[in-house]
Structure formats: structure tokens, C-alpha cells
Structure 1
């Protein structure tokens, strides 16, 4: 519970400071944004690359499509159908929370006389940053639970880290979000992942005989990802 408490406290603190329009925070946002906007205007090549990445590769709908593929793969195994539903519910709830916060705060996005990109609706938290954090965080946990090889795990971890970091930086670079919008997206997204994993472990605990994976070692795949013919977890032998 410690990570959940820390992430929740950090998210609540940032939310309170943004809602109160705390001047030092606004000044920090403005200073960083003005600097990155000057760079974005001057570096047209990097700006175009950032637009492609943020609009196609790391777009929230791309993340949801990736999540849908994972759900379909899980549904192919009867014992994993509960996890498939859990994944859908968590991502849907994260989207609802994100939109609710945007509507409640109504924070204005940066406004430039020479914009390099445009975006609509309220700014806090960044939907791109939060969606990428939630989807990729949950999928990483599912891979870890399956017990993939170290090479696959390291590759997935690197791709997720680059994607979550990159999507946040592109939103700031393109001048459509304040830095604290992105930070808020990361924090609320990480809080969602930690809470969702804790709920999964409580409601659908791993049966005995499937020890957690150790660094450099292997473990049997999670029973949910093994070819069971029933949606019920394996029963203990009598």
C-alpha cells in the first residue's frame, strides 16, 4: 500500500496547487513552456516528428487499440476472461476520471501567437500522458504476471518507459500542455495502475504453486494465461 499512498498524496497535492492557482507553480509552468515553445518554433523538423508521435504513435486512441488487442488475446483463454473485463473496466474508469478532472478544473491551455499545434478541451491532466501510463503500466504488469523471458521483459519495459516519457515531452514541446498537466497525467495514471493491480491481487489472487518471478529466473505462466477450460481458478487439492 505504500506506493499507492505516496502516489495518491502526490496526485492530491498537485491537484490542490493547480486548483488554487499557486503562483510559484504557475510561474514555473510559464517559464518552461515559453522556453520549449521557442525551441519548437525554431526546430521545425523536431516539431513535425513530435506531431507524428503524439498524434499517431502515442495518441490515446492508439493506446486504447493496444489495450483492445490485449483484451482479445485474454478472451481467447477462458480462465483469463475475468482479467480481460478488469482491464476494460480500469481503462474506462481512468478515462472517466481524466475527463471529470478536466471538466471540474477547466484549466486553460497555453496560448501562443505562433502556435505549432492545437488541442481542445481543458488542460489538466494531460489525457495523452495519463492514458499511456495506465494502458502501458497495466500491460507491463500482465506481462510480468505471465512470466515472459528476461529479454522480452526488458524490451517491453524500455518501450513503455520511452513511450510514457516521450508522449509527455511532446505535449509540452508542442505547447498544448503546461508541464504540470503532464506531471498530473503521469501521477494519476500511476496511481490508477497501482490501485488496479492491488484490486486484482485481492479479488483474483494467484493460486498456490505459482511463485513470483525472480530476477534472471523463470516461473510457470500465470494460471489465467494457461489453457484452462473454466473461468474458475484452480481448486486446491484435497
Structure 2
């Protein structure tokens, strides 16, 4: 055996986050960057993006007028199944369950994340001040500024948080994948209904989803960081 082979291997570097620890921050950076980039491009009036918004909105609005059955279904889904109140109530239910189980720090984190989501969403709406699509024959109505979409951002944040909690607490892969699938369908579905009903532009919902996922990832990353630092119990 050579001398080199007898040397002990170097210990792994300390202080650097593992891929699992870094993942939430990567997701937050990518999604947050995408959301902010979309907002900045819209504010700047970048023609390709504005043209895409216009084309998609007109195509879906024509479809909504031509298929009243689809429109009625979309209104039920967006106003009841995937409404912002519904999403917040789902998180509230999980909050109560976690609190009852003694996981109060995690429950508090979910509440703070949802509250911050509302503040960021409303702040950006007021700051950007984008008008909603205007139609001669509207099929639905909504108020306040358009960007980012409150429905899309709330759904992405709530579903992101609930999916993360499922994977870290349930320990049942089949159930976790079911939660993930339902969450993905919900976020995509509410985004589609908002544009289909003519109350949002495509970039409104895309920026909302990106920012919602970014905030969910920030919550997950913050939780891991606090646990690593010993601020909260594992």
C-alpha cells in the first residue's frame, strides 16, 4: 500500500449547505427572479410580451363567449374551488392541525408566510398599477390592479406551502404525490380560469405563480435555516 493511499481522506467541507438545504433558496431565487422580470418587462412595455398577452387574452375571450358552459364552469372553479378565501382556509385548517399537534413554530411560519403574501401581492398591485383587460362583452368582472394576479399568487403560495408540509410531515409517498398533483392542477387551473374569464393577462398569472412559489420556497428555506441554527426544535 503506498503512502498516499494510507493518508486519511480529507473531511468534507463544513459550512456549505447541502443540495437539499440549498434547494429552497435556489427555487426562491429562480421563481422570484422570473416574477420580477415579468413585471419589469410589462412595466417597460416590451412589445413581444405585450403582444403575447393581447393574443392570448383575445383568443380565450372569444372561446369564453362561444362556450357559455365552459364559462360557467370556470366561474364556479375560480370563485369557489380555487378562490383566495378557499386557499387561505385550507392553510388555516393545516395551521390548526399543526398547532393541535404541538408544532406551533411551523404553524406560525405558515401564518406569517400567508400574511406576507397578501402584503407583497397588494403592494405590487398598487406599485405596478396595471389595468385589467377591457371587453365590450365581459363574461366576468374583477377590481383593483391586475399584476400580479392575486388568485394565482395565493394559490401558488398556499399550494406550495401545503405540498412542502405534506412531504415533510406525512411520510406516505402515495399521499404526498396526490397532494402534489392536486396542488399543481389547482395552480394551473386557477391561472387558466383568470385569463379565460378575461379578468387577467397571461403575464399577470405567470408573475403571480412565480412570486407565490418563491415565497413558499423562502418559507421552507427559512424553516431549514432556523432548525440548523438550533432556533427551533427538529
Q: Report the TM-score, using the length of structure 1 for normalisation.
A: 0.84
What is residue 31 of structure 1 aligned with on the other side? Answer: 55
2:196 aligned to which of 167, 173, 178: 173
1:135 and 2:166 are equivalent in the alignment: no
2:36 aligned to which of 9, 12, 36: 12
CA-atom RMSD in angstroms: 1.7
Q: Which segments of structure 1 move beyond 3 Å, counting only runs of 4 or more?
A: none
Q: Deviations over 1:115-171 (max 9, x none)?
A: 000000000000000000001110111111114312211211111111000000000
Q: Aligned with 2:199: secondary structure?
A: coil
1:72 aligned to which of 96, 100, 110: 96
What is residue 138 of structure 2 aligned with on the other side? Answer: 115
Which runs of 5 or more residues in structure 1 are unaligned? 208-230
What is residue 87 of structure 2 aligned with on the other side? Answer: 63
Cα deviation, residue 23, structure 1: 2.0
The range that moved more, 69-78 or 164-173, is 69-78
Which runs of 5 or more residues in structure 2 are unaligned? 1-24
What is residue 86 of structure 1 aligned with on the other side? Answer: 109
What is residue 54 of structure 1 aligned with on the other side? Answer: 78
1: CA distance, partners of 2:35 / 2:42:
11
Q: Report the TM-score, using the length of structure 2 for normalisation.
A: 0.86
What is residue 22 of structure 2 aligned with on the other side? Answer: none
Cα deviation, residue 204, structure 1: 2.6
Cα deviation, residue 190, structure 1: 1.1
Cα deviation, residue 59, structure 1: 0.3
Of structures 1 and 2, the larger Rg is shown by 2
Cα deviation, residue 96, structure 1: 0.4
Residues 25, 232 of structure 1: alpha-carbon distance in 2 compared, 3 angstrom cutoff:
closer
2: CA distance, partners of 1:11 / 1:34:
23
1:98 and 2:121 are equivalent in the alignment: yes
Higher fraction of helix: 2
Cα deviation, residue 196, structure 1: 1.1
2: CA distance, partners of 1:150 / 1:90:
25
Cα deviation, residue 13, structure 1: 1.2
